[in-house]
């Protein structure tokens, strides 16, 4: 992303200064989609660096804040040729005791290392919809899900070296699976607030039922009570 707003049209973006992720300053310069085999890693807690093209459905999202105050960075998943699935809290702006649905979200497709500003497609959302029962800007995590859609197709592609590959995720046929993959550019150390990884990482996590999840989180005040079948960890 070169700072043009709208992307590729040479205009100025009033809310985005080109930093990606926002607020971190300037950065230095063949398979079916989603059908991948992951190797076990004994240090899976912190994950591992994703191979280029290994997670082609991963999207880097940025929600501009009002008044040019930077933005919120999030992740999303390509689920169709025009829509991305993300968390509800990624599309709401909290402040002054109010929850305001974002007017737009910028989506960067095919990204691997966020420090490299290649000509990866960046699109601005035209439709943002959060779950109607989601209670934004509260400690209630139920129904924390949203859809971001665009008025034109996402440019799907698989490149020979994997870089800049873009594709849709494979939808599960049932909930009988035992493990799942989480991916993104978030924190890499559990329980320590530190810098986010600029390189896309993945980790394999074990799928557990809701009762087990509630039991394990019961020691955290208020956490277990806010869990139901709309939220899986």
pLDDT digits (tens, 9 = 90+) for 187-198: 776 665 667 789
Closest to 100 in 3D by CA, of 138, 136, 63, 61: 136
Q: Which of 114, 104, 109 has the alpha carbon at shortest distance from 79? A: 109
For 13-27, 93-107, 130-144, which range has the lowest pLDDT when averaged over its residues?
13-27
Domain that holds residue 124: 44-226
83: domain CATH number is: 2.40.10.10
**Does 6 reside within a domain?**
no
Residue 110 has pLDDT above 60, yes or no: yes
Give the pLDDT mean for 122-131.
Answer: 96
222 conformational bin, left if phi > 0, alpha if psi -120 to 50, beta if neither: left
What confidence tier does 3 reach under pLDDT thresholds 50, 70, 90? very low
> Residue 15 domain-assigned?
no
Give Cα 108 to chain centroid, integer Å.
Answer: 10
Question: Which pLDDT score, from 0 to 100, does residue 193 have?
Answer: 66
Tell me the per-residue pLDDT of 80-92, one tens digit each, with 9 for 90 and over.
999 999 999 999 9
The verdict on residue 124 lying in a domain is yes
- Split into its structural domains, the chain has a count of 1
8-50 pLDDT tens trace: 333 333 333 333 333 333 322 233 333 333 333 333 345 799 9
Confirm whether 36 is domain-assigned.
no
* Whole-number pLDDT of residue 200: 93
143 occurs within a structural domain: yes
Contacts of 81 (CB under 8 A, 6+ apart): 153, 154, 156, 168
Q: Dump pLDDT digits (tens) for 149-171.
A: 999 999 999 999 998 999 999 98
Instruction: Answer whether the bond into residue 6 is a cis peptide, omega within 30°.
Output: yes
When pLDDT is averaged across residues 58-82 and rounded to a whole number, the result is 89
What residue spans of 60-200 are helical by DSSP H?
none
pLDDT, mean over the chain: 76
Q: Is residue 102 part of a domain?
A: yes
Domain presence at residue 165: yes
Predicted confidence at residue 180, as pLDDT, reads 85
Residue 5 has what pLDDT?
29
Residue 85 forms part of a structural domain: yes
């Amino acid at each position: 992303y070169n700072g043009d707003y709208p992307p590729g049209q040479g205009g100025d973006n009033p809310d985005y200064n080109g930093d990606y992720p926002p607020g971190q300053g300037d950065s230095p310069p063949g398979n079916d989609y989603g059908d991948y085999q992951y190797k076990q890693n004994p240090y899976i807690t912190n994950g591992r660096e994703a191979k280029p093209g290994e997670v082609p459905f991963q999207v880097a999202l940025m929600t501009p804040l009002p008044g040019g105050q930077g933005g919120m960075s999030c992740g999303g998943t390509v689920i169709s040729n025009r829509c991305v699935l993300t968390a509800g809290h990624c599309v709401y702006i909290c402040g002054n005791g109010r929850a305001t649905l974002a007017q737009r979200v910028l989506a960067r497709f095919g990204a691997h290392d966020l420090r490299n500003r290649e000509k990866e497609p960046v699109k601005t959302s035209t439709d943002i919809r959060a779950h109607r029962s989601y209670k934004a800007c509260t400690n209630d995590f139920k129904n924390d899900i949203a859809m971001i859609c665009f008025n034109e197709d996402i440019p799907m592609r698989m490149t020979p070296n994997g870089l800049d590959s873009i594709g849709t995720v494979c939808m599960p046929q049932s909930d009988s699976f035992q493990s799942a993959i989480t991916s993104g550019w978030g924190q890499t150390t559990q329980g320590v607030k530190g810098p986010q990884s600029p390189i896309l990482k993945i980790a394999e996590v074990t799928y557990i039922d809701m009762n087990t999840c509630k039991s394990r989180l019961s020691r955290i005040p208020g956490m277990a009570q806010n869990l139901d079948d709309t939220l899986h960890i």
